[in-house]
């Protein structure tokens, strides 16, 4: 079985200092670690999937959160070196871009179908936010029968709940913490 690196919500709105729902410096600091993982996964013949919030301008989601990751905007674009990496590798058959309407990257997306078609058995989770989209994507993977791994130094959040939710993923979904 193959592995897949899931890069969750590393957009300008979630990472850049000017983003509308930014985790800021803690998210910016994990970018080199994610790029290094993406290089390693692709070199090893594994899958790299960029899973990105994709909202309409009037999305009901914005009753809970400030508008963010509106389709086609600067805010939804991948942040910095991750955008550069994606542009350099986007034509590779095992590099995916998965727009997602909700927190869980598997919910109402083609991610599960794409991973199963590529023989993936383990998903490795990186990106933001540890206690929201990363956590719920770990659940989505677990519920679909994948083994899950999450990287302490390649995930971040703006709430201060990073370590608590890493422990919770391990306890509830048997997620391996690296």
| Torsion sign, CA atoms 86, 114, 30, 61 | positive
Give me the residue spans of the domains in the chain: 2-177
Nearest to 169 by CA among 155, 145, 143, 148: 148
pLDDT at 61: 87
For residue 95 the two structure tokens come to 């590099």
Burial (Cβ within 10 Å: 0-12, 13-18, ≥19) of residue 91:
exposed
Residues whose CB falls within 8 Å of the CB of residue 36, separated by 6 or more in sequence, listed in order: none
Beta carbons within 10 angstroms of residue 97's beta carbon: 14
Q: What is the CATH number of domain 2-177?
A: 3.40.50.850
For the chain, counts of helices (H) and of strands (E): 6, 6
Positions in the chain whose pLDDT score sits under 50:
none
Residue range 93-136, pLDDT digits in tens: 999 999 999 999 999 999 999 999 999 999 999 999 999 999 99
Q: pTM of this prediction?
A: 0.96
pLDDT at 71: 95
């Amino acid at each position: 079985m193959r592995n897949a690196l899931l890069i969750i919500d590393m957009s300008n709105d979630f990472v850049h200092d000017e983003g509308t729902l930014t985790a800021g410096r803690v998210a910016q600091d994990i970018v080199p670690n994610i790029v290094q993982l993406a290089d390693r996964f692709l070199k090893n013949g594994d899958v790299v999937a960029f899973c990105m919030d994709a909202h309409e301008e009037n999305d009901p989601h914005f009753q809970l959160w400030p508008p963010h990751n509106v389709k086609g905007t600067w805010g939804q674009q991948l942040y910095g070196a991750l955008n550069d990496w994606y542009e350099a590798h986007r034509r590779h058959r095992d590099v995916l871009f998965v727009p997602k309407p909700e927190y869980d990257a598997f919910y109402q997306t083609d991610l599960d179908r794409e991973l199963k078609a590529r023989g993936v058995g383990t998903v490795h989770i990186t990106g933001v936010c540890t206690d929201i989209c990363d956590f719920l994507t770990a659940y989505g993977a677990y519920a679909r029968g994948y083994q899950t791994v999450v990287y302490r130094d390649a995930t971040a959040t703006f709430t201060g709940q990073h370590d608590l939710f890493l422990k919770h993923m391990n306890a509830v979904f048997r997620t391996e913490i690296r």
